[in-house]
């Protein structure tokens, strides 16, 4: 072989090696993300950086095509992966490959009081997002259940900051284990739908930190959320999507959040404020990017051409732009360009089972006089099902959480499938709600029908007299003014004549079980006339199967309420103080810390059903609680224990709640606050010790004069409870 050949061969071998070494850092998945971010950033033009930080379509933003950096695709959330919409429409694109699994609403997840259910939820929905090539899931929502009227409470995790914090963290980790960012929303104080786009919320700093921020803080610091969504409303007279205090001082400053702040759709209102006050990705700024002309196209979003022009005119520097671009690049390298590639899975039997399992663990048995439930099919042979919610589709509607599902088993279908030939099941509608057009289908028409509630009620009552047992299935629905985005409810009562119908059914047949499907509390004037009551939430694709399993006793219910059911609206703090809804401009949270059971405790108001309440088909006995020591040192912990025994004849899950009470404090504090919980499974006769460890953080309050959390030395009580009003034992202790 002559020299020339040798040189040629050598260079051919060398080339790939050389090329190998020249692989750009940002493309090298073995390199640390921060190096990849910096490498990509310094390769990008000004225009490319600006393109990263605003939408290019309804649910996507640009990548850097020249560098092979992919786009970002968002999807609602939080109960399933929303159907594909047209490039610039809310309406569905009519795909045939995007019918998803609907998981139960987040109130149901919270009602499981089981972080393992959250982990299962997050993993499963994250797999669906990944499969649908979405790298940002627009959820979960963790706004606090301040009143029973908020139209979107069904998308959130209840009234207590500790419960929401414990339940949101595993969901986030589950989603992100798929290389999909959770985008926790809506940061912050978006606790009602009425006037959500304008109202400036006034709340004292202590309440902000003790009630409304903890779930977001846990999401960032424990969940490691890669994205946060700014809320529509204002706080300190700045829109939350361009808010110095919330986004820069707290989220990115104090909490060291390194992810992206995504605006709510249409939440950005001012270029300079968005630049300076922490907004990273602007979405939905009311545009029709295809034909409304330049004045509204995506290039004219606040953080698009107007921003680029300010830079080119020298009116703003590029420091903020580089920070925003870094955060978006970090998001991309954590998701679409991550080292581990995930492919997810979609609408699989495993996901249906996951949804069903969460649903079965979240259904709450509220009342069961005469042990009517579970239904004894040896005794009852003629079963009547009454109520529109036995058949009404609940996975569609309700706003942005609306889903196009592969399957939705209705309560009636689930009950019929479960009962089979063991009894006869007949159905009478009993009541109906006004028909509404399906929200996601362009040009959909409502099938308007004649509704005569009196005639419907008489028909149901007549049928009830012939039945052995009646299952009424009602509650709220996803129509505007019920459990739906964009509006709040007007009252606590059930609509469409349900209360009169339930009372009439109770008079017609003493064997009546009432199933409430809702995401909010409702009043129950008939509560004493009805032997059995179940809160069944919006349970998603497997709703009917989960409900039937509980009603027939295949599953022993173990759900507990994540929010208070007040007897009447005036029993709610914000309502009682006239602090809701405020005006379109201003609202002051006069009830402060005293939200939910905190209010009921402070005013000694007996709820209809308290926070944390839930019954079982078995019975449990609790021992006296004990502690591992009788005082806590400032940097120490204390472990409280209690024995729980299943004294019934069937397996069940019992929930132990631990509240802390500060017996003497220099600032007013709620009577007690949830600081621990544990759910245990017990076979008949089995006894287990439940231990819960707390540290001084559980004893602390936020001193807004000092801007820090304070645990004052002194006397405390650890309170073991089966609900906010069912105290089972107290252990006094001191903080030294
Ligand atoms: C909606 C909701 C938000 C949702 C977004 C996109 O207005 O407030 O939760 O993720 O817009 O649909």
> Model confidence over 406-432: pLDDT tens digits?
999 999 999 999 999 999 999 999 999
Q: Both tokens of residue 625? A: 């609680």
Residues with CB under 6 A from ligand 1: 76-77, 138, 185, 264-265, 400
Mean pLDDT calculated for residue range 510-514: 98
Under DSSP, is residue 144 helix (H, G, I), strand (E, B) or coil? coil
> Model confidence over 148-188: pLDDT tens digits?
999 999 999 999 999 999 999 999 999 999 999 999 999 99
Residue 16: predicted pLDDT:
47
In ligand 1, the atom with minimum distance to the C-alpha of 59 is 6
The answer to whether residues 179 and 336 touch, using CB atoms and an 8 Å cutoff, is: yes
**Cα 701 to chain centroid, rounded:** 25
Task: Tell me which residue of 670, 631, 625 sits closest to 162, measured CA to CA.
Answer: 670
The residue whose CA has the least distance to atom 9 of ligand 1 is 400
CA 725 to CA 609: how far, in whole Å? 9
Task: Tell me which residue of 299, 326, 303 sits closest to 316, measured CA to CA.
Answer: 303
> Model confidence over 291-332: pLDDT tens digits?
554 555 798 899 999 999 999 999 999 999 999 999 999 999
DSSP-derived secondary structure letter, 367: E
590 pLDDT more than 60? yes
Q: Count each helix (H run) and each strand (E run) in the chain, helices first.
A: 18, 27
660 pLDDT more than 50? yes
- Phi and psi at residue 470, in whole multiples of 5°? -120, 130
The answer to whether residues 425 and 383 touch, using CB atoms and an 8 Å cutoff, is: yes
Q: In what order do the strands lie in the sheet with 469-475?
A: 364-368, 532-535, 512-517, 469-475, 382-386, 424-428
CA 682 to CA 574: how far, in whole Å? 39
CA 181 to CA 170: how far, in whole Å? 13
Residue 546: predicted pLDDT:
98
DSSP-derived secondary structure letter, 405: B
CA atoms within 13 A on the CB side of 253: 10
Q: Both tokens of residue 152? A: 């979107």
Overall pTM > 0.85: yes
Mutate which of 230, 265, 402 for ligand 1 pocket (most atoms within 8 A of beta carbon): 265
Residue 23: predicted pLDDT:
87
User: 3-state secondary structure string, 528-565?
Assistant: CCCCEEEECCCCHHHHHHHHHHHHCCCCCCCCCCCCCE
Q: Is the dihedral of CA 580, 582, 587, 590 positive or negative?
A: negative
Q: Both tokens of residue 461? A: 């009552």
- 189: CA distance to ligand 1 center in Å? 15
Residue 96: predicted pLDDT:
96
Other CB atoms within 10 Å distance of the CB of residue 204? 15
Mutate which of 81, 399, 401, 486 for ligand 1 pocket (most atoms within 8 A of beta carbon): 399
289 pLDDT more than 70? no
CA dihedral 273, 59, 396, 225 (to 10 degrees): -70
Other CB atoms within 10 Å distance of the CB of residue 373? 24
Share of the chain above pLDDT 70, in %: 96
31 — pLDDT class (breaks 50, 70, 90): very high
Q: Both tokens of residue 672? A: 């007690």
Residue 690's alpha-carbon distances to 561, 656, 658, 696, in angstroms, are 20, 8, 11, 20
DSSP-derived secondary structure letter, 127: H
């Amino acid at each position: 072989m002559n020299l020339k050949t040798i040189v040629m061969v050598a260079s051919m071998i060398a080339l790939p090696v050389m090329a190998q070494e020249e692989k750009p850092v940002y493309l090298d998945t073995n390199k640390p993300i921060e190096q990849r971010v910096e490498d990509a950033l310094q390769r990008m033009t000004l225009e490319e950086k600006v393109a990263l930080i605003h939408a290019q379509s309804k649910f996507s933003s640009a990548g850097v095509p020249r560098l092979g950096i992919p786009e970002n695709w968002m999807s609602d959330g939080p109960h399933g992966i929303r159907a594909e919409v047209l490039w610039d429409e809310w309406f569905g694109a009519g795909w045939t490959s995007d019918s998803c699994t609907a998981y139960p609403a987040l109130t149901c997840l919270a009602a499981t009081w089981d972080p393992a259910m959250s982990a299962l939820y997050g993993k499963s929905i994250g797999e669906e997002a990944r499969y649908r090539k979405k790298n940002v899931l627009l959820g979960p929502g963790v706004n606090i259940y301040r009143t029973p009227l908020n139209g979107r409470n069904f998308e959130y995790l209840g009234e207590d900051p500790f419960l929401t914090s414990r339940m949101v963290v595993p969901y986030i980790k589950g989603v992100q284990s798929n290389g999909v960012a959770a985008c926790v929303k809506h940061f912050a104080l978006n606790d009602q739908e009425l006037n959500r786009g304008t109202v400036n919320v006034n709340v004292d700093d202590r309440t902000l930190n003790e009630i409304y921020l903890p779930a977001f803080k846990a999401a960032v610091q424990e969940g490691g959320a890669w994205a946060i969504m700014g809320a529509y409303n204002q706080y300190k007279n700045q829109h939350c999507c361009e808010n110095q205090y919330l986004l820069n001082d707290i989220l990115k400053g104090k909490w060291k959040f390194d992810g992206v702040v995504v605006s709510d759709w249409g939440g950005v209102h001012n270029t300079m404020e968005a630049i300076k006050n922490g907004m990273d990705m602007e979405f939905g700024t009311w545009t029709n990017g295809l034909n409304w002309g330049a004045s509204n196209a995506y290039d004219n979003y606040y953080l698009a051409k107007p921003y680029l022009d300010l830079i080119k005119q020298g009116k703003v520097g590029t420091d903020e732009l580089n920070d925003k671009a870094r955060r978006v690049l970090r998001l991309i390298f954590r998701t679409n360009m991550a080292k581990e590639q995930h492919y997810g899975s979609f609408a699989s039997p495993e996901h249906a089972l996951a949804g069903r399992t969460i649903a079965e663990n979240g259904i709450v048995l509220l009342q069961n006089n005469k042990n009517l439930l579970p239904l004894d099919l040896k005794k009852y042979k003629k079963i009547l099902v009454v109520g529109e919610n036995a058949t009404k589709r609940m996975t569609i509607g309700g706003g942005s959480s609306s889903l196009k599902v592969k399957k939705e088993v209705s309560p009636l279908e689930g009950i019929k499938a479960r009962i089979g030939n063991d009894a006869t099941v007949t159905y009478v509608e009993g009541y109906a709600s006004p028909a509404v057009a399906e929200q996601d289908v362009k040009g959909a028409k409502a099938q308007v029908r004649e509704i005569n509630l009196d005639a419907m009620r008489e028909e149901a009552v007549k049928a009830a007299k012939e039945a052995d047992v009646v299952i009424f299935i009602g509650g709220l629905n996803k129509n505007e003014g019920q459990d739906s985005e964009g509006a709040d409810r007007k009252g606590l009562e059930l609509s469409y004549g349900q209360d009169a119908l339930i009372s009439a059914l109770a008079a017609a047949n003493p064997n009546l079980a009432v199933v409430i499907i809702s995401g909010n509390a409702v009043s129950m004037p008939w509560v004493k006339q009805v032997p059995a009551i179940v809160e069944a939430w919006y349970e998603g694709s497997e709703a009917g199967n989960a409900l039937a399993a509980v009603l027939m006793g295949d599953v022993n219910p173990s759900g507990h309420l994540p929010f208070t059911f007040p007897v009447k609206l005036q029993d709610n703090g914000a309502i009682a103080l006239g602090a809701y809804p405020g005006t379109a401009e201003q609202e002051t949270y006069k009830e402060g810390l005293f939200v939910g059971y905190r209010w009921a405790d402070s005013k000694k108001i007996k709820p209809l059903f308290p926070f944390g309440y839930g019954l079982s088909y078995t019975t449990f006995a609790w021992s006296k609680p004990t502690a591992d020591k009788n005082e806590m040192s400032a940097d120490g912990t204390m472990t409280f224990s209690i024995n729980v025994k299943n004294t019934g004849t069937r397996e069940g899950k019992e929930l132990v709640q631990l509240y802390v009470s500060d017996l003497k404090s220099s600032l007013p504090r709620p009577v007690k606050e949830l600081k621990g919980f544990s759910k245990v499974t017990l076979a008949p006769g089995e006894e287990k010790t439940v231990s819960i460890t707390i540290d001084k953080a559980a004893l602390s309050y936020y001193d807004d004069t000092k801007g820090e959390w304070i645990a004052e030395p002194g006397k405390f009580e650890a309170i073991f409870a089966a609900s906010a009003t069912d105290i089972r034992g107290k252990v006094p202790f001191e903080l030294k």
